[in-house]
């Protein structure tokens, strides 16, 4: 036999709480517990099983305490023995003077070690500052500027182009910029600018060599080197140079003349000394190219190709041919020079 036993329905005479507030009251939760009681003496139900309903007790939830913010860290510092004893709650025990002196020496040595490290760390910065100040002092400024190799270029023009003055810091001199500016001068073919410590700037020039004087269309004479570069303007032809009065084309100082003018200058600069002495005029035309005038004789040279062979052929004609009644010599084909008589235009 099975018996359901609800202990909540049993009333306890000593419990004065209302029924709703008692354990297992309405609204609560009961748990069925299967238990086996020992049989009562004289009971016919010896194998009775009792099911007991017990109220479920829900434990009350407790709130967790809020976490407190961690205590902010304080800056570490050294404490004296008295302060340390006071913080630890220990009695202030007197310290042996020798021990106190030793501790003071240790602290002093630590401070000195930190100061030495700081000094060594700042030494490179102090050294750099000292070197920078030295470069700005009068010990390392420009004291002298030497210009060598300038014959047709004035010293003032070189210094103005280089933009270097006395008293200028040596480290601030722009060597490349000075070299580029000086190279723009008409007479300068090559230039070198160097520092000579502690306070000298050296400028070495290689000037162009004029080989001919050309008369332009404006009536002025211009000195031209072997590459056709106009170096200077003059009022009259330069003595000792081949004169070309019939060029009659525009020329600008500091620029290269046109292709015909270059061929003209190349021929004029390549003339042997004997032929150059007897040459009165060198001209160029589109029809025949370069032409020499030697007294009453016209020498047709043509282009500036094979000049050496053409000059050899011209020299052979002048030495071996009777020049009487000769009005023209054609060496445009150096292997077969030609001579004209009495039929020149």
Over residues 305-324, the mean pLDDT reads: 89
Query: CA-CA distance, 307 to 285, in Å (whole number)?
Result: 17
pLDDT at 70: 55
Torsion on CA atoms 279, 285, 287, 293, rounded to nearest 10: -10
CB atoms within 10 A of CB 226: 16
Q: Which residue has the tokens 């280089």?
A: 162
Q: pLDDT (tens digit, 9 = 90+) per residue, 90-129?
A: 655 677 888 888 888 888 888 888 888 888 888 888 788 7
Domain 210-341: give its CATH architecture.
Answer: 3-Layer(aba) Sandwich (3.40)
**Does residue 45 have a pLDDT over 70?**
no
Helix (H, G, I), strand (E, B) or coil at 80: coil
With bands split at pLDDT 50, 70 and 90, how would you rate the model's confidence at 63? low
pLDDT at 79: 66
Q: pLDDT (tens digit, 9 = 90+) per residue, 227-275?
A: 889 999 998 888 888 778 777 788 999 999 988 788 888 888 788 888 8
Query: CA-CA distance, 276 to 270, in Å (whole number)?
Result: 9
CATH superfamily label, 141-207:
membrane protein fhac (3.10.20.310)
CA atoms within 13 A on the CB side of 273: 0
Tokens (6 digits) for 2:
């099975």
Q: What is the DSSP letter of 66?
A: P
Tokens (6 digits) for 241:
């140079």
Query: CA-CA distance, 183 to 186, in Å (whole number)?
Result: 8
User: Of 136, 150, 147, whose CA–CA distance to 196 is shortest?
Assistant: 147
pLDDT at 8: 47
Q: Which residue has the higher pLDDT, 56 or 326?
A: 326
Average pLDDT score, the chain: 78
With bands split at pLDDT 50, 70 and 90, how would you rate the model's confidence at 47? low
Number of H helices, E strands in the chain: 7, 15
Report yes or no: 242 and 279 within 8 Å, Cβ to Cβ. yes
Tokens (6 digits) for 284:
């160029």
Helix (H, G, I), strand (E, B) or coil at 343: coil
Over residues 51-78, the mean pLDDT reads: 59
Q: pLDDT (tens digit, 9 = 90+) per residue, 134-170?
A: 667 667 788 899 999 999 999 999 999 998 888 888 8
Query: CA-CA distance, 245 to 284, in Å (whole number)?
Result: 11
């Amino acid at each position: 036999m099975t018996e359901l036993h609800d202990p909540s329905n049993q009333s306890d005479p000593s419990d004065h709480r209302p029924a709703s507030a008692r354990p297992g009251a309405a609204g609560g939760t009961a748990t069925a517990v299967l238990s086996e009681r020992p049989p009562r003496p004289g009971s016919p139900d010896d194998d009775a099983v009792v099911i007991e309903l017990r109220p479920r007790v829900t434990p009350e939830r407790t709130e967790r305490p809020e976490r407190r913010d961690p205590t902010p860290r304080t800056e570490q510092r050294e404490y004296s023995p008295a302060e340390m004893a006071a913080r630890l709650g220990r009695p202030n025990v007197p310290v042996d003077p020798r021990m106190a002196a030793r501790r003071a020496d240790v602290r002093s040595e630590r401070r000195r070690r930190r100061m030495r490290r700081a000094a060594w760390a700042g030494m490179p910065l102090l050294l750099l500052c000292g070197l920078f100040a030295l470069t700005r002092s009068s010990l390392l400024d420009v004291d002298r500027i030497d210009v060598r190799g300038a014959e047709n270029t004035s010293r003032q023009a070189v210094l103005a182009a280089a933009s270097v003055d006395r008293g200028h810091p040596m480290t601030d001199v722009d060597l490349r910029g000075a070299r580029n500016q000086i190279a723009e001068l008409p007479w300068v073919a090559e230039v070198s600018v160097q520092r000579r410590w502690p306070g000298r700037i050296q400028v070495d020039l290689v000037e162009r060599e004029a080989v001919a004087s050309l008369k332009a269309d404006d009536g002025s004479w211009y000195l031209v080197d072997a590459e056709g570069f106009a170096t200077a303007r003059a009022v009259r032809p330069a003595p000792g140079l081949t004169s070309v009065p019939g060029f009659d084309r525009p020329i600008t100082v500091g620029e290269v003349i046109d292709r015909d003018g270059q061929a003209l200058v190349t021929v004029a600069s390549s003339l042997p000394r004997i032929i150059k002495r007897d040459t009165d005029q060198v001209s160029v035309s589109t029809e025949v190219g370069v032409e020499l005038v030697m007294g009453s004789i016209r020498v047709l040279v043509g282009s500036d190709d094979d000049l050496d062979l053409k000059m050899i052929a011209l020299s052979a004609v002048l030495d071996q041919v009777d020049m009487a009644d000769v009005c023209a010599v054609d060496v445009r084909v150096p292997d077969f020079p030609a001579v004209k008589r009495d039929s020149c235009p």
